[in-house]
Each structure stands twice: as structure tokens, then as C-alpha cells.
Amino acid sequence: MGHLGALLFLLGGLGALAQICEITEVDSTLVERLGQRLLPWMDRLSPEQLNPSIYVGLRLSRLQAGAKEAHYLHSLKLSYQKSLLRPSSSKDGNDSEAKPSMGQLALYLLALRANCEFVGGRKGDRLVSQLKRFLEDEKAAIGHNHQGHLRTSYYQYGLGILALCVHQKRVHDSVVGKLLYAVEHESHLLQDHVSVDTMAMAGLAFSCLELSNLNPSQRDRISLALRRVQEKILKAQTPEGYFGNVYSTPLALQLLTGSLSPTVELGMACLKAKAALQASLQHKTFQNPLMISQLLPVLNQKSYVDLISPDCQAPRALLEPAPETPPQAQVPEFIDVVLKVSGVSPSYTHSVSVPAGSSLEDVLKNAQEHGRFRFRTQASLSGPFLTSVLGKKAGEREFWQVLQAPDTPLQQGIADYRPKDGETIELRLVSW
């Protein structure tokens, strides 16, 4: 067991195990810098760029954005209510006007709860009904034999149940039953890079249901599934300390922090994860606003489950914009990146020259401007999602995977990833 294990064992004996997975005492300057990175995003108020997750993350953190925060929530309300409560007969003109998905509606409801609001009234009831209907439709898509495919994902399914739960809205046992089955049988949840995130989201939904006791006849099954999720996440810890990968660690920790079955193993795993996270904060690994928004609650010992009864009076430090760094007047250094596309005929391999520090999206734009390369993206809460390459649009249950050759899937999207000189990036059409 070693010294650490012995210490944790002793703490357990003293009744302190309930807080065994708290990520405390992370350098407050690093946390503040993380929060500062969200501020510019709070000025982007177009429907395409509004992101309820940012609001939720801030409200569950120990930082605040002053007047910007209330303004952001106001914009979220206007935009989401307008598109969600619009009669379904009005046809969508283009992608940017598309109605929010099940997961986006769920995140919007979490944002309301983060401001200590319960959905209510005629409009609120309609939103709740819409989310319930989304879940029912997905339940039907999964089917009686559990073999069917969701239109969205189990991640969004879990998010939907969680959002209704924190608003104390009950969903039918059969809806919860599909998520329980998926965790009990795992097969659908274990799609490569998304499994820990999905497990964690399912676990957060189960934690909420367990605490709220909204589905009493499924109580034992829920507790068991929760323990199973926790075990799976602990098993997915990497030698560096991440659960899954660095970007699934925030949600994993949101789940583990609230664990009602703390063990010595859990305590040790969390300490290791905390060290890994601290290193990643120093290396500025978290740049994407969605990722930051999932991490901030963890650094304040909070999780989405705390939205059952949020503390809207808790003191939070005001974020000041980061001081601007003057641009360096240097001749930019150029790097060469090889872009390779497989899954299309004829195949495509081309070297692109871009200024050092360019994003992969810049590389793609450059290839498009100067050659036959073509690509399209769709806005999402994580940034631009690559939907089509060289005229080939990813079909249903397919996506354009982004890899560092020969075979390493990137852990960041095209807007965030910055290739190095000489690197080969492959875009590969795969099924999921």
C-alpha cells in the first residue's frame, strides 16, 4: 500500500473519505488564466457561437465574468428560446439556423439551473416536453433489442437525463433503462476516444438520479451501474494519470469527485490525476472553451450534479482580461506540413507551407486556396467540425477522422491543433 495508501486508509478511518477525490490547491494563477481564456468567447453572441457550456462552467467555478455573465445568459435565452419554440413548420434555411440538438437543449437547461432557475411556465414546460420527446425518440431508435443506433449519442442521452434530473423532472423508467442497459453491456459506449467521456456523462446522470431518487424502482440498478462506471473510469487511467485522455479527465473527475463509494484506490487515482492536470495547465493544454468549461468546476470541487441545488451566492473572484502581449515584429518562420486524404479516389497527398504556429484549419485553408483540396466544416460547441473533404461528405455514422500519420488520432480539432514542421496529417473517412 505504501505511505500514501496508509495515509489515505487512516483518513478513511477518521471519516474524511467523503472528500477523497477533491482537486484542491491547484495554483490559483493557473486557474485564473484558464478562466481568462473564456472571456473573449463571451463576446461572441451569434447563435452559432453561443455556448451554454461556457456559462455552466463559469457558474460552477470560483471565477466570475461580472456583467458579461448576465448578458451572456440573456443572449442564450433569446437565442435558444427563439429557435426551440419556433413552430416546427418553419423550414430551416441553412445549417446555422438548425434547431439545437438534444444535447444543446440539455446544456441550455443546465445553464438555467446554474443561475438557480427552475424551468417553468408555459415556455419552460414546452422545453421540458421537447427534451423528453427527444429522449423518447432516441429510446425508440435504440429499440427493444437494444441493437438500434441513436441519432445523437449515448453522451447526449446521458446529458438529457441529467438536465431533466437537476430540474427535478422525472423521466420514464424505460428511458433510464436504456442508459442502464448500455452501461451494463458496454458495447455501445466503448467507441475508442469517446468512451470515458460517455461513461462519465452517464455516471453524472446516474449520480443525480441516485441523489434525487426520481426513479425509486430502479434504485439498486442505478447504484450498481454507478459503481461500474466508476470502476471503468479508474481502469482507464493512463500511466501519466489521465482518465482516458487529458480531455476526458475533467468529466471523469466531475464524476469521481462526487463519488459516494470512496476507496483508497480512488483517492490514489485522483491524486495522480491532479498532478497530471496541474502539468497540463502549466503546458497550456486547455485552450478550447468547451474543454475549459468542463474543467473549471473540477478545480472548484464541483460537478454538474451540484446543479441539483446550486449555490448562487458563493463568492467568486472577478476575472480581469489577460494583459495583451504585443505582436512580435519578426519575419514569420515557415513550416511544411504534408496533408494526406485517404478514402477518396484519386487519393490526395500534398505538402503545404504555412507560418509556424498555424492551426490545422489554416493548413486546410491554405491547401484549398492553392490547389484542388476542398473542405467544409460545421460549427459546434467544440469548434469547427470537419464534415466534408474533397467533396466527400461524411455519411450517417461516419466521420472524417484526423490523424497524425501513421496512425495517431489527434486529441484536438482542426481549429486547435497546431502541426509541427515536417508532420504528416491524414484525414480518413471512418465509421463509428
Smallest distance from the beta carbon of 265 to ligand B12, in angstroms? 22
- According to CB under 6 A, which one of 11, 190, 390, 410 is a site residue for ligand B12? 410
Stretch of residues binding ligand B12 (CB under 6 A), selected from 25-33, 130-138, 192-200, 255-263: 192-200
Residue 419 engages ligand B12 in binding (rule: CB under 6 A): no
| Paired strand residues for 430 | 399
Minimal distance in Å, beta carbon 1 to ligand B12?
Answer: 31
Total of chain residues touching ligand B12, rule CB under 6 A = 39
Cis status, amide bond into 419, omega within 30 of 0: no
Tell me if 148 contacts ligand B12 by CB under 6 A.
no
- The residues in 34-73 that bind ligand B12, with binding defined as CB under 6 A, are none
According to the binding rule CB under 6 A, does residue 392 interact with ligand B12? no
- In this complex, which beta carbon is closest to ligand B12, that of residue 152 or of residue 230? 152
| Candidate list 400, 419, 426, 429; residue touching ligand B12; CB under 6 A | 400
Q: Which 231-270 positions form the footprint of ligand B12 (CB under 6 A)?
A: 244-245, 247-248, 251
| Residue 380 binds to ligand B12 (criterion: CB under 6 A) | yes
Selected from 158, 241, 267, 413, the binder of ligand B12 by CB under 6 A is: 413
Q: Per rule CB under 6 A, is residue 280 in the interface with ligand B12?
A: no
193: contact with ligand B12 by CB under 6 A: yes
Q: Provide, rounded to whole angstroms, the least separation between the CB of residue 285 and ligand B12.
A: 8
User: CB of 252 within 8 A of CB of 266?
Assistant: no
Q: Is 156 annotated as a binding residue?
A: yes
Q: Which is nearer to ligand B12, 107 or 225 (CB)?
A: 107
What distance in Å separates the CA atoms of residue 394 and residue 396, rounded to the nearest whole number? 7
Interface with ligand B12 (CB under 6 A): 101, 103-104, 107, 152-153, 155-156, 193-194, 197-198, 244-245, 247-248, 251, 288, 291, 294, 380-386, 399-402, 409-414, 416, 432
Q: Which residues are annotated as a binding site for cyanocob(III)alamin?
A: 152-156, 197, 245, 294, 410, 432
